[in-house]
Amino acid sequence: MWPKAAAVVAFRKLAELSRGAVELVLPPTCAGCGAQTDPTAVLCRVCDSRLERIAPGACQLCQQTSPQPDSRLCASCELSDSALTACFAAFRFEGGAADWIHRFKYPKKGLRGLDPAPASVVEAMLNEAGYRASGPPPGLVVPVPLHPRRLRLRGFNPAAELARSLAREFGIPFDPVALCRTRNTTSQTGLDRHERRRNVRDAFRARRGRQIPEQVWLVDDVVTTASTLTEAAIALRAAGARTVIGLCAARALSNVPSVGR
């Protein structure tokens, strides 16, 4: 290892050790306001109350209507034949949740990586979605990939950072490169549901030689119509997955049922 790299590793180790020491001495504090908080919580009750939770009993695919009697899905999602088995979020993408996610995805200039406070909050938001996913634990956690060109511009893939943390929380294997983007699609922002589906159609495939288990958790930071997640789920199914459960830190909900296909 060349000296500069060795110095960086040593510095990181030291930072980790000193952070551990600080945690031993100082009581845990809220990532939002700095108030003293429960050691198991990232946010205090006041800051947590600024995040709007999705009803845990909502349809397990669109997350915005009530399921049919004796079903986990609403009438519209039952007919949709989605490649996604389910898609869970614990929070609505608005207000406090949207602010945290924005801070996580766009760290202040000068920070040479993720901003630790928003990263810990958004990771906790995604973990909460993971705890809502019922059924046996999956064999793999996979993030929605960025196109290599977009990854170079951004410096990191927010979905991959979150998926890594989720995999650690649940003790599940993580593969950041199980899927790849075959096209550099334009942003989904501002497109309607049909345009979004067309924009990401056939945009993903499983990387050659990757073993995809039967059950997979597929992670993105924010889900709106689930078009991107659905296309990624189609690629995972083509590579052998039978159950693909989408998980995201927050879900943008409208009044229109959102999951197609």
Q: Which stretch binds Zn ion (CB under 5 A): 26-34, 148-156, 159-167, 226-234?
A: 26-34
Distance, in Å, from the CA atom of 139 to the CA atom of 131, rounded to the nearest integer, reads: 16
- Whole-angstrom CA distances from 163 to 42, 59, 66, 67, 130 are 18, 23, 28, 27, 10
* Binding residue (CB under 5 A) for Zn ion from 42, 51, 54, 74: 74
Looking at residues 203 to 242 of the shown chain, list those that interact with Zn ion (rule: CB under 5 A).
none
Distance, in Å, from the CA atom of 5 to the CA atom of 100, rounded to the nearest integer, reads: 32
The answer to whether 248 contacts Zn ion (rule: CB under 5 A) is no
* Binding residue (CB under 5 A) for Zn ion from 51, 59, 146, 247: 59
Distance, in Å, from the CA atom of 154 to the CA atom of 48, rounded to the nearest integer, reads: 29
The answer to whether 33 contacts Zn ion (rule: CB under 5 A) is yes
Q: Based on the number of CB atoms within 10 Å of its own CB, is 134 exposed (0-12), middle (13-18) or buried (19 or more)?
A: exposed
The answer to whether 30 contacts Zn ion (rule: CB under 5 A) is yes
Element holding 78 (H helix, E strand): helix 75-78
The answer to whether 250 contacts Zn ion (rule: CB under 5 A) is no
The answer to whether 47 contacts Zn ion (rule: CB under 5 A) is yes
The answer to whether 62 contacts Zn ion (rule: CB under 5 A) is yes
Q: Which residues bind Zn ion (CB under 5 A)?
A: 30, 32-33, 35, 44, 47, 59, 61-62, 74, 77
